[in-house]
């Protein structure tokens, strides 16, 4: 609480605030009072076991769940990237990116966003013609083109092969350095969390059970001893026994 007060006094207001978020499916409470803040430009990883409610929480934070209770404030614009690319199969890549946008410069903005994810030449392709990694990059472009202050990512690279995942993590790091958006990255991958995040949260029992700053520099490798110590601590918290 003390840290929060000092941040409230000194820093800019958080881009995302959630208080006492609750959500049940039938009798089972999946979220039992979640509190969290994300500061502008901050990348927060949200870890948790399978079925711990990470996706449920992200949908609430994205404003996609009307049945959740509690308080949720987003200061600025938010955009979402889901685990599956969720591109509309009947729209070409550029039209998928442009979904919901209006204004005279949409085409130019779309082209720029596609160029940033390295797919400028696929703007006329159908989603079915893309590989999994390419489709997910289009999904990132679709979020990016909205110039979000906050990016909500639900295991965005979870369905990709290991090599593609590494490239996508690099891409996300680069985009974040260029655009300075804040991000809440849901992941079940501790290494991914430590590679990308400034802070890691563990969701367990329907609340944020652990909060861990990740004071690693801008260039991070899993070989760093500090990295290893943090990984061990998070794995312990997630209930993965030491080898």
Partner 1 sequence: MSGTVLAEAPERAAATAPTPPGRRARPARRWRRIVSPVALVAAWEGAARAGLLPAEKLPAPSDVLAAGARLARDGTLTTHLLDSLTRAAVGLLIGGGLALVLGTVAGLLRLGDDLVDPPVQMARMLPHLGLVPLLIIWVGIGESLKVALVALGAFFPLYFNTYAGIRDIDERLVEAARACGLGHLARLRHVVGPGALPSLFLGLRLAIGAAWLSLVVGEQVNAQTGIGFLMMEAREFSQTDVVVLGLVVYALLGLISDLALRLAERRMLTWRRGLRAT
232 is written with which tokens?
Answer: 């061990």
Out of 15, 43, 74, 79, the only residue in the binding site for partner 1 (CB under 8 A) is: 79
62 is written with which tokens?
Answer: 């994205």
CA distances from 52 to 28, 61, 71, 208, 236 (A): 12, 16, 20, 11, 16
Residue 14 interacting partner from ligand ADP, partner 1, Mg ion, none (CB closer than 5 to 8 Å by kind)? none
Residue 158 interacts with partner 1 (CB under 8 A)?
no
Residue at token pair 């690693």:
216
**Interface with partner 1 by CB under 8 A: which range of 12-20, 44-52, 125-133, 188-196?**
125-133
Three-class secondary structure of residue 128 per DSSP: helix
DSSP state of 241: P
Three-class secondary structure of residue 103 per DSSP: coil
The mark string for 27-46 relative to partner 1 (x by CB under 8 A, - otherwise) is: --------------------
Q: Which helix (H) or strand (E) holds 30?
A: strand 28-38
Please compute, for residue 3, the number of CA atoms within 13 A of its CA located in the half-sphere on the CB side: 6
Out of 34, 37, 38, 56, the only residue in the binding site for ligand ADP (CB under 6 A) is: 56
Residue 89 interacting partner from partner 1, ligand ADP, Mg ion, none (CB closer than 5 to 8 Å by kind)? partner 1
63 is written with which tokens?
Answer: 């404003």
Residue 227 interacting partner from ligand ADP, Mg ion, partner 1, none (CB closer than 5 to 8 Å by kind)? none
Give bridge partners of residue 94 from the DSSP assignment. none
To the nearest whole angstrom, how small is the minimum distance from the Cβ of residue 168 to partner 1?
18
Identify which of residues 56 and 169 has a Cβ nearer to ligand ADP in the complex: 56
Residues forming the site for Mg ion (CB under 5 A)? 55
Residues forming the site for partner 1 (CB under 8 A)? 59, 62, 64, 79-80, 82, 84, 86, 88-92, 99-100, 125-126, 128-129, 142, 146
């Amino acid at each position: 609480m003390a840290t929060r007060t000092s941040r409230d006094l000194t820093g800019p207001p958080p881009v995302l605030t959630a208080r006492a978020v609750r959500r049940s499916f039938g009798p089972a409470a999946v979220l039992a009072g979640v509190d969290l803040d994300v500061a502008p430009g901050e990348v927060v990883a949200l870890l948790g076991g399978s079925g711990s409610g990470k996706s449920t929480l992200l949908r609430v934070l994205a404003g996609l769940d009307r049945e959740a209770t509690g308080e949720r404030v987003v200061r600025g614009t938010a955009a979402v990237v889901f685990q599956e690319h969720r591109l509309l199969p009947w729209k070409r890549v550029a039209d998928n990116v442009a979904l919901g946008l209006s204004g005279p410069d949409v085409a130019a903005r779309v082209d720029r966003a596609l160029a940033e994810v390295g797919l400028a030449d696929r703007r006329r392709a159908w989603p079915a013609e893309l590989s999994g990694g390419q489709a997910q990059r289009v999904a990132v472009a679709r979020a990016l083109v909205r110039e979000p202050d906050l990016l909500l990512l639900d295991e965005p690279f979870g369905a990709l092969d290991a090599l593609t995942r590494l490239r996508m993590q690099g891409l996300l790091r680069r985009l974040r350095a260029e655009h300075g958006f804040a991000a809440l990255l849901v992941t079940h991958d501790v290494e991914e969390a430590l590679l990308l995040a400034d802070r890691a949260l563990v969701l367990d029992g329907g609340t944020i059970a652990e909060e861990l700053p990740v004071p690693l520099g801008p260039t991070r490798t899993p070989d760093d001893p500090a990295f290893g110590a943090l990984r061990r601590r998070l794995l312990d918290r997630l209930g993965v026994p030491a080898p």
